Amino acid sequence: MRLLSQVNLNSLKIVESAARHGNFTRAGEEQFITASAVSQRVKSLEDQLRFKIFQRGGNAVSLTPEGETYVSRVREALERIVAASMEATGQSQEHVLKISVLPTFAARWLFPRLPLFQQRYPDIVMRVSTSYATHEFTTSEFDLEIRYGDGHFHGLQSDLLFREDLTPVCSRKLFHEVLGDKKLSKVIPDDLRHFTLLHSDTCTQNWQSWLGFAGASFVLSKAKSIYFDSCMMSYEAANSGMGFAVANRAYMASDIRAKRLVAPFAVHHPNTAGWYFVSSPKSLAARKVLLFKQWVMAEAALTQRQLDSETSGEAAMAV
């Protein structure tokens, strides 16, 4: 085994790219090498480290717990190298906005909207990191984070984007295969026992919480279950017709409006926790941070109004 001091910097960049895309092919396109070369670089680094960075499954890859921690630290180190190089050449970081976002929040809510921010503020360069880890602002390179919690983050400024609001969803095709022409308004929680329930290791209590709220906890012992290592995978499985996932409505609203998914239950389980814009008081003084905060808060408010309007419409139809 080669010494860890001989780890290749390009290999670290390739691993970071693969983690960000969740795909070796896209990482190869970004790094101008083949997917096979990406796989070889990753394998070589894993041999040096003596642990697996990625779980491989078809075209997609996901980080192992050890890989999540390692890539998070590699990403921070690479950003410091870039920052040091820019400082050394007299280039300013004033227009570079560095944010850390939860992976599912990023993919299901932020990324579809981010082009709007880029169009409005083309001078701001975005550097987006997706991670479940939280960072110490005094030592990290991030300007802000999107965090999940109760809003109490010691010593930090936090502003609520929207609260979690859970409801079960499944593909329209699967719904009709199992329940035929049954009207959505006639579906009751007990009907879930005829479906497979899709669980997530990162949202372990969601099904238990929703079914308890709906008065149907018994369904857990009657329905089949499949477990995934992330909420994102359970949502994708629901889209693919594998079963019902219980999901935050803000994440799945576009799929429901496009009729790819159905959300047949009027029971929406609100949660006291939610997603927050989090930053240090010092970073909020920066123009780039303030502009992003104003934009993302406005987008979140729009999302909440749309969800409230849809809930009101469902209630009116049920009367």
d(CA 160, CA 146): 10
The token duo for 243 is 């079963």
**In the prediction, which pLDDT does 82 show?**
73
3-class SS string, the chain = CCCHHHCCHHHHHHHHHHHHHCEHHHHHHHHCCCHHHHHHHHHHHHHHHCCCCEEEECCEEEECHHHHHHHHHHHHHHHHHHHHHHHHCCCCCCCEEEEEECHHHHHHHHHHHHHHHHHHCCCCEEEEEECCCCCCCCCCCCCEEEEEECCCCCCCEEEEEEEEEEEEEEEHHHHHHHHCCCCHHHCCHHHHHHCEEEEECCCCCHHHHHHHHCCCCCHHHHCEEEEECCHHHHHHHHHCCCCEEEEEHHHHHHHHHCCCEECCCCCCEEEEEEEEEEECCCHHHCHHHHHHHHHHHHHHHHHHHHHHHHHHHHHHHHC
Q: Give the pLDDT of residue 312.
A: 57
Token match 């669980």: residue? Answer: 199
Angle at 44 between CA 43 and CA 50, to 5 degrees: 85
Question: What's the CA gap between 38 and 19, in Å, rounded?
Answer: 11
Task: Quote the tokens at residue 42.
Answer: 């990753």
Count of residues for the chain? 319
Low-confidence ranges of the chain (pLDDT < 70): 1-5, 58-59, 83, 86-93, 311-319
The reported pLDDT for the residue numbered 238 is 95
Classify 65 in phi/psi space as left (phi over 0), alpha (psi -120 to 50) or beta: alpha
